[in-house]
Chain A
Amino acid sequence: MSEALHYHFDVDGASFANAGRASVETKKLLRQLGVSPEIIRSISVAMYEGEINMVIHAHGGDADVYITEDTIIIILKDVGPGIRNVEEAMKEGFSTAPENIRALGFGAGMGLPNMKRYSDEMHIDTKVGVGTTIELWYHLNK
């Protein structure tokens, strides 16, 4: 693999005010690099879902973006409660988000399904009580 460009973002877990900052910044970045609008949209949507999840469930976390000539990898890492049942969490409509989050328009149980839908590969590494790391892979030369 050739030398990767690397960008790091702190995902602030304190409020929704800053949620989306990493995805918006990444979107700008990818646009400057000339990545196709379709891939940019996929990455923005998946990453935003990841950020929202980190704010809802994990008091924030880290978002890292690695870009090589043929692959973009997004790594979202938190030290939150972990996902008890990944299979269940992957089902559309399944949500453990509290009521106040639903009032904000989230918690529809679409977070992880959207991330899967909007990535070429998704890898979830999670442990209850330890945290969750999600890798999103995008192949540029499909």
Chain B
Amino acid sequence: MLTVDKLIEKLGLDVIELADGSREIKGGYAGDLLSWVMGRAQPDDAWVTIMSNMNVSAVAQLTDVACVIFAEGVAPDPEALSKAKMHGINLLGSRKGMFELCGDVKDAMLSEAHAEADYAETEERN
């Protein structure tokens, strides 16, 4: 299971606000148009964006994503941060560009899934 904590460790992400590091990440979504994200991001996604205003925290809360990852070294506005603190939203950051960062998130998810499959196979053999 890929948790927010594990993703931070694997990718060396900056922790901006960590409300619940044990949340599982089941998928990912990338985008900056909030309505688009609202309609398509799924609960427990890692959402990668460069949008930094307070509405990001509102959308994160309403869509129930596992965490928001700001790419390109973007920092959230103070209002976004305070909203995130208030509502228990995980905010992370990276200096990498969107494309590269999304690739890394996907790799982390795949390697976690492979590790789990290997583990299950070994268990079965024993």
* A41 part of interface (Cβ distance < 8 Å): yes
- From 52 to 68 in chain B, residues with beta carbon under 8 angstroms from any chain A beta carbon are 53-56, 58-59, 61-64
Q: Is A114 an interface residue (CB 8 A)?
A: yes
Binds B, one of A20-28, A60-68, A121-129: A20-28
Judge if B79 is at the interface, Cβ distance under 8 Å.
Answer: yes
- Chain A residues lying within 8 Å of B43, measured Cβ to Cβ, are 37, 41
Residues of A within 8 A of B39 (CB): 45, 110, 113-114, 117-118
Taking CB atoms, residues of chain A closer than 8 Å to B55 are: 16, 19-20, 104-106
Q: Does A44 contact B (CB under 8 A)?
A: yes
Are A110 and B35 touching (Cβ within 8 A)? yes
Whether A44 lies near B62 (C-beta < 8 A) is yes
Contact yes or no, A108 B61, CB < 8 A: no
Cα distance A104–B32 in the bound complex, in angstroms: 9
Indicate which residue in B51, B61, B62 contacts A105 across the interface (CB closer than 8 Å).
Answer: B51
Mask: chain B, 14-50; 1 = CB below 8 Å from A; 0 = not: 0000000000000000001111101100010000000
A106 to B35, CA, bound (A): 6
Interface string of A38-71 (1 = CB under 8 A from B): 0001001100110010000000000000000000
Contact A41 B64 (CB under 8 A): yes
Chain B residues whose C-beta falls within 8 Å of the C-beta of A104 in the assembled complex = 34, 53, 55
Q: Which residues of B contact A19 (CB under 8 A)?
A: 55, 58
Nearest CB in chain B: distance from A103 CB, A: 9
Kindly list chain B residues whose C-beta atoms are within 8 Å of the C-beta of A1. none
Known: A24-B62, A105-B33. 5 other contacts (CB 8 A): A45-B39, A45-B63, A114-B35, A114-B38, A114-B39
Chain A contact residues, CB within 8 Å of chain B: 16-17, 19-20, 23-24, 27, 37, 41, 44-45, 48-49, 52, 104-106, 108-111, 113-114, 117-118
8 closest A-B pairs by beta carbon, nearest first, are A110-B35, A20-B58, A108-B33, A105-B34, A44-B62, A114-B39, A105-B51, A108-B35
